[in-house]
Structure 1
Amino acid sequence: MRELGLTEALSNLPDPVVAAFALLTQLGDVWFLFATLGLLYLLAGERIASNPRRSGALLIALSVGALATTLALKATFAFPRPPNAGTASIPPWLPPALEAVYLNVATGSGFGFPSGHAIGTTVAYGGAAAVLDVWNRRKRALVAGSLVGIVCLARLVLGVHYLVDVLAGVAVGVTYLAVTLRVAKGDPTRAFSVAAVAAAVALVAVVVRGVPSEFGPVAVTLGAAAAGAVVWRRLDPTERTVSVPVAATGLALSGVPWVAAYLGDVGLVPSLVAGAVGLSILVGLPALAGRSDGQKNDGTSRTA
């Protein structure tokens, strides 16, 4: 029913074209979305949004919820990917050192319906178009739609999804985005709470369907969503300037627990803690940086 023939029709494209789409698909990968939104949260100024810190936190909350929703739906339907999703032809011009990286980005594993890349990009880029102030709304929507379209096409070219998978992913993303924005009303705490509910539903789904391999990722999203709601509520609302080195360091540190939980298969509770710690570092960094600057200034005053 999902096999409409488009994935097969795109399977014979030249290697350079496939390699280009393997790179473009990273625009919808979890690491890229969270890194981009994390930097926006930490560094964006008022030219991007009237309240960039609040808008950035809202977008992070939306993406956490999108990931949780993806995990819930994949576990519920448990539909497989296309037969050759786990294999890829290595371009002859690719350096041997990059072959493993290429295979990682050009293939897919796990369940295929709906497309997580389609859900994630729709929520992240669609959310950015909805809450940011840069350009005008029409141009933001056009850019967001183009990015979503490119990522969806890349998933088809790589043969890791059927057309139905990406169309369903976009529909789910639009629905989740619309519902969460309506419930949150611009409040990141509410958006994180919606994400926590989605993660709890995902946890029930993987337990009921018996998919132990997804316990860790679901627990990470649940811990992240719960921590985000708590930390943002307690965060000093005063805008704190974060330097680029501090932002880059904080973003890297926030990702360490998530990567460790994902790669280490550490179990339910450690994954829950990892998600909470990682999100707390990211969301709490501006307040921590502000306190550190304040303590330095107090010390300088005393010394003077």
Structure 2
Amino acid sequence: MRVGLFLNEPQGQDPIAELRESMARAADDGFASAWMSNIFGLDAITALAVAGSQVPGIELGTAVVPTYPRHPAALAQQALTANAALGGRLALGIGLSHRIVIEEMFGYSYERPARHMKEYLDILLPLTRGEKAQVNGETLRANIRLGAPGTGLPVLIAALAPRMLELAGSMTDGTVLWMTGPRTVEEHVVPAITRAAERAGRPAPRVVCALPVCVTDDPATAKARAAEVFSVYGRLPSYRAMLDREGAAGPGDVAIVGDEAEVRAQIEALGRIGVTDFVAAEFSARERTRELLKSLR
């Protein structure tokens, strides 16, 4: 199991320099990957391309770019350009986002999300392989070929529901998870995505599992802090469904906390249940947490 880091949204006056420094430290510390969310701050693909072009030797991923606001051809063009700037080190994670974001903020319809994702991939994936995309779907259309260079760009989707896991396994390189606990990963995610990949004759998919992590001697306080910092994810329907499946009251209950031995054991257990990439979101006691994570590389 590879170990990576979630990059915090830069807060300073020079966000690209701050991001570059975070990437450089992650690379120097020997982590396999660094991932950036795409919410309302920096555009993740652009930021990774600019900052990451100066930091060699580490995979850089988006976790995740919302699909609805960008036509798949436009996203493919941007991602291929960024991947070229990074020397083929970009992992493109995409997702549906949430109804409250897509409908109430962007003003798009969020109807038939699984159909939308299927048709999105029908256009995006051929374009990332240098092929023509010709799709006349119910939610998306395209008749286009790109001239941007293709270098085997891996595409993963945020997949939690059964239909999305089917798409992830049968069409893409895997899934990027967030706020999904170990029991749900073992009993729901890994079996579903693996079956889908096997039926489609595809290689075993990547299962990128991201969770909050804190090494501490006071786990109760750390869990309370995680519950506060990540409280919004306990209210969004897709994450709430996974927390309910896990039997977790909220984000604090799926955070990985404890002393060095306890955190190590919890992370290593994820590898045994099928997680291929663990991505740590450090949220407290960062230096102590980083030292433990470095020992897991």
The TM-score, its normalising length taken from structure 2, stands at 0.23
Higher relative contact order (CA 8 A, sep 6+): 1
Q: Which has the larger radius of gyration?
A: 1
